[in-house]
Structure 1
């Protein structure tokens, strides 16, 4: 079977961490726009922050065939927040040279988007957008995007790191719309700009235009299109997956559309914060989304929107409220102690011990998250304290009930390929609903190590236990009693 180069693309929709810019001042001026669409900037690694510098044209001769290469949307009216050209800014045509005798086995398009570990989330008024622009400009502008990058985890073209999809064709779209990929609002002309209208919010339009561009590059001949995302990008998948499926059908494409949601399954914050939302720290996710929907002209899945009365549409931004209204197959990956969910409650593991209230909150979070995933068909949820999974280079190491994520995704893929829906024999021993039953943070032995949020250094086991509020003296006494047969 001949597989076209552009049949698979992957859009990473970035981290969900809110900005903690306590000392920043609003009112920063937008950065300079780069050159015309198609202009590319200097080469850096996947997680490097590109330094400011001159804009260059053309691909360097040393770029590897498997590197992702920068491109922009054809529609120049669709932009990042500051008016600079938007993605699919990073593009890969799969590994162009495969070992002799090896053929591409997938015809998949993966949409994945965002900037991992740099914070994603959103801005929802002039003050928070100005602050975001000053501190993390590449989440609002393409001016300093890298020219090429290498993917890791499920974005990797190396078989040993990404055995199931290493030979898929991938498109990576950085997050620069600050609207959880829901916006449909261009900036107003300067003469008419008011308090909240100097930025564009076009996240949903970026995805729509990307699909349109890729349709002319062979996308319509793909067998499977997978829209994937991490954190805010995971929420973006939930918000856009039905529209992507509908758009591809309208374009005449005959394929299966799927969604992969990594760390984008959030619960509403229970603690009341200031409804005025003077900054992102003091604003709850619910209030931020309520304000953001108006600012962005947010596009909400129609079935979910119709279910809630006017003013309650914000509920559709939460996976456990939206999931039942979606018909597209979805796989949800979610840590049961998600760091970004905990930061909403100002819980930072490392640096100080947790209070009894915080410990209780973490236990309740585990119960609520687990319960919210009960009716999700395909899910991988370890009892770990972390954030984002599928773009980690060691993503295959994590397991739930003895099953790796890589294997669970293969099982899910296999179930979707099975033409005989009534036969489960082929799926025996191949589960893809995997949720940890142990309810302590890090009780899963495959969990990634804890990191001190202040120093970014890994914690030893004893330090981690102390950070989680464990009484070390009592633990030592209990251990001694056990050794003595007590």
Structure 2
């Protein structure tokens, strides 16, 4: 074997060893089914019991709690909900019974310096309406539960006697559809906890815009309208918000709900969120000829007109977030092409994690939660200025 061959073998062995070490060091947390959920009428789409994963805090973190809503899109009609009920997005029977906790859920102080020893909980998502619906469907042949609101309540009531009810500090967070759930349940969460507790909320990639797509249609608005109607969500939306709008279902959009949230809130989002790029700005229905396919797969392949459209989307997001007092709303809006950055260790906190003004996401969130800095609103310059980005673009 020549020298190059030896080097290749050594590198392969080192890579294998690194993967083994990583696998052995991963924090795997078992599932807890909420056995009393049936008494509250709290069921997943298929009628299975809701669930969560809890990793107990230690030391100074025993009276501190971090709850993380799982994400995973939505279903807005019977066909999509019936299909979803047959998957892990609609049934705890089909979910993994152990979950890896990383990023904001990690128990490693060097990887999650502010929250590593807190009680950390991942709420499994199985209702298809960001934990906000309260209805059911039964035509004699098919049956579906739309009980996201009751799932939320059942999980909270299961956690309160386990220590949540005596929390001194708490953070309600979520990613994607779970990030949207953080907006919907933030103030309600604070009402369950002691009056003297420090309670705050965080949304990661959940600031979905009410935006026209490239064909001038409100594709996302149509999806949310049907979802709110089907799953009985409107009754659980913020009442002041719904009474102030001619279309009450719009309060499902964070940009309309945020100003009515009293609990301190942190918005973590990319200005070029790849989910919103693919489903709000340029959904398949608006790009039937695939003119945007190369741009979606690689931002460097976008032409001048496409880049102008993307910059317009960023401008609209920043406009929707403008004017909030820094003491009430913190934010980290970077210019990466990604979706969800708090649960992945690569983007949450590592030497090469994304940064704004040399501050990582974990540092920005920690500074905001613990009031360590005066400025808690970090906004990136426009693409392609940020060389720290991890562009996490899903393969087509």
Q: Following TM superposition, by how much is the alpha carbon of 1:67 offset from its aligned partner in structure 2, in angstroms?
A: 3.5
Q: 1:375 pairs with 323, 339, 350, which one?
A: 323
The CA deviation string for residues 455-485 of structure 1, in whole angstroms up to 9 with x for no partner, is: xxxxxxxxxxxxxxxxxxxxxxxxxxxxxxx
Corresponding residue number in structure 1 for 2:297: 350
- SS state of the match for residue 270, structure 2? coil
Q: Which residue of 1 aligns with 2:358?
A: 402
1:178 aligns with 2:128: yes
CA contact (8 A) 2:37 2:49 kept: no
After superposition, residues 80-479 of structure 1 pair within 5 angstroms as 80-88=44-52, 90-94=53-57, 103-105=59-61, 107-114=63-70, 120-133=72-85, 137-188=87-138, 191=140, 198-246=143-191, 248=192, 254-271=196-213, 284-298=219-233, 299-309=236-246, 312-344=247-279, 345-346=282-283, 347=292, 349-350=296-297, 353-376=301-324, 377-394=329-346, 395-396=348-349, 397-415=353-371, 427=373, 431-436=375-380, 438-441=381-384, 443-449=385-391, 451=393, 453-454=395-396
Deviations 1:131-151 (CA, angstroms, capped at 9, x unpaired): 4345xx000111122222220
The alignment's C-alpha RMSD in Å is 2.7
Structure 2 distance, partners of 1:321, 1:274, is 20
SS in 2 for 1:67: strand
Aligned partners of 1:204 and 1:240 also within 8 Å: no
Say if 1:66 and 1:92, in contact at 8 Å, map to a contact too: no
Displaced runs of 4+ in structure 1, greater than 4 A? 63-66, 272-275
Q: Residue 78 of structure 1: which of 15, 28, 42 is its match?
A: 42
Counterpart secondary structure, 1:199: strand
Alpha-carbon spacing, 1:65–1:333, altered in 2? closer, same or farther (3 Å): closer
Cα 1:274/1:87, change in 2 over 3 Å? farther
Q: Is the 8 A contact 2:68 2:123 kept in 1?
A: yes
| CA apart distance, 1:202 | 1.3
Q: Deviations over 1:365-407 (max 9, x none)?
A: 1111122222343001111111110001121222111222222
Q: Aligned with 1:71: secondary structure?
A: strand
* CA shift for structure 1 position 452: 6.4
Q: Deviations over 1:44-85 (max 9, x none)?
A: xxxx9xxxxxxxxxxxxxx99963221111222311101111
| CA contact 1:351–1:452 (8 Å) conserved in 2 | no
Aligned residues: 348
In the TM superposition, what is the alpha-carbon distance from 1:91 to its structure 2 partner? Answer: 2.1
Tell me, yes or no, if the aligned pair for 1:201 and 1:296 is still in contact at 8 Å: yes
- The structure richer in strand per residue is 2
Partner secondary structure for residue 65 of structure 2: strand
- CA distance 1:234–1:213, change in 2 (3 Å): same
Alpha-carbon distance between aligned partners in 1 of 2:148 and 2:45, rounded to the nearest angstrom = 9
Deviations 1:290-336 (A, max 9, x none): 11111111021122122123xx1122122221111110110110101
Q: Retained in 2: the 8 A contact 1:272–1:284?
A: no
Partners of 1:253 and 1:213 in 2: how far apart?
A: 20
More helix by share: 2
> What CA distance in whole angstroms lies between the structure 1 residues aligned with 2:51 and 2:323?
34
1:431-467 Cα distance to aligned partner (Å, 9 max, x none) = 311001x2124x212100454623xxxxxxxxxxxxx
DSSP-derived class of the 1:434 partner: strand
CA distance in 2, matches of 1:152, 1:265: 22
Q: Whole-Å Cα distance in 2 between the matches of residues 399 and 271 of structure 1?
A: 29
Q: 1:351 to 1:154 in 2, by over 3 A?
A: closer
Secondary structure in 2 aligned to 1:448?
A: coil
Report the TM-score, using the length of structure 1 for normalisation: 0.66
Name stretches of at least 5 consecutive residues in structure 1 with no aligned partner.
1-47, 49-62, 96-102, 276-282, 416-425, 455-486
Report the CA distance between 1:273 and its aligned residue: 7.5
Which has the larger Rg? Answer: 1
Instruction: Give, in whole Å, the separation in 2 of the partners of 1:110 and 1:92.
Output: 10
Structure 2 gaps of 5+ residues are 1-22, 284-291
Q: 1:29-48 residue pairs with structure 2 within 5 A?
A: none
